[in-house]
Amino acid sequence: MDVAGVEGRHPLAGVDYPGTYQELLAWFPDDRACLEYLEGLRWGDGFVCPACGADEYWRTGAGLRMCTACGRKTSVTAGTIFHRTRTPLSTWFAAIWFVTAQKNGVSAQGLQRVLGFGSYETAWAWLHKLRRAMVRPDRDRLSGVVEVDETFVGGVSVGGQGASTDKVPVMIAVERLDNKRLGRMRAQVSDAPGSLALVEFAAEVTEKGSTIHTDGATMMRRLPGLGINAYNAADAGEVTPGVHLVASLLKRWLIGTLHYRVNDEHLPYYLDEFTFRFNRRTSRRRGLLFYRLLQQAVATDPHPLHTLLRPERTRG
């Protein structure tokens, strides 16, 4: 729960999270405080040796955990996005705070300025590492009534797809709740607009038994065979208004926050960030978003710079 302060003890992961930037600075002034908090996030259910799976350990003088069975020494940051970082963890915590505390996020240039990085590349790499942590592989699928459609994102800087346009096709799915409210969403770049990729996307992100509203494309008739009901109408504006709204918000976000400085190879990860923000748009506790992203950061692989510069076209 969010608390006004933590007096007489260290903040506990899963219980405490800062409510203001001032609290963040007071709670996490150095690496020791940050490491203790991260331990609670990563090993809250108990330490497990990554080499042999044993759960008993000795704590070394350097703060590492040495497995009593095989002798493997493990840092809480090993194998996470903080792996081998030379920057104080308190700076990482501040970066995560700025990313989550602002409704529309922060650009690499803005992060560079507020944290005093010597290069734009450092801020850019940090943001992309955090974007890798914004989507959980085991996240729940959408359910109930789900709208599915495609849109085109224009203004991508280099290598835009399409025969005669620089616009990139993006598939969007969004839950439609009662009273015309929208629930969670998913978004993914399509290699070919108007193809069976949209059917595969719909089946991948939606629970079986759900009802998908589409624009009436012939290919979507395959959905019932995949265990998903399909409803369409001649007027796509009536059947998928939620997708159109999400698409509009996505384009405004790309313009307003990122100023269209998005390469097509990296667009999938910007979609992940937009999805992370949209699905948590009703949260009034920014500190809780900080906690959630930090929690996912210790469960995310390091992603060295060269993998960020040239991400794979197909992601798992």
Which CATH number does the domain housing residue 189 bear?
Answer: 3.30.420.10
Instruction: Give the per-residue pLDDT at 314.
Output: 43
Instruction: Give the per-residue pLDDT at 137.
Output: 79
Domain assignment present for 275? no
Question: Which run of H or E residues covers position 173?
Answer: strand 168-176
Residues 257-270, mean pLDDT to the nearest whole number: 81
The residue among 81, 101, 105, 96 whose CA lies nearest residue 273 is 105
CB atoms < 10 A from the CB of 105, how many? 23
Domain assignment present for 83? no
DSSP state for residue 142 in the 8-state scheme: B
pLDDT in tens, 57-76: 999 988 899 999 999 999 99
Domain boundaries, position 250: 145-265
Domain assignment present for 157? yes
Domain assignment present for 215? yes
Total domains, the chain: 1
How far is CA 48 from each of CA 43, 55, 63, 125, 306, rounded to the nearest angstrom?
Answer: 8, 5, 16, 29, 30
Instruction: Give the per-residue pLDDT at 138.
Output: 84
Is residue 8 over pLDDT 60?
no
pLDDT in tens, 167-195: 899 999 999 998 889 999 999 999 888 78
Domain assignment present for 140? no
Please name the residues in contact with 276: beta carbons below 8 A apart, sequence gap of 6 or more.
134, 135, 293
Domain assignment present for 252? yes
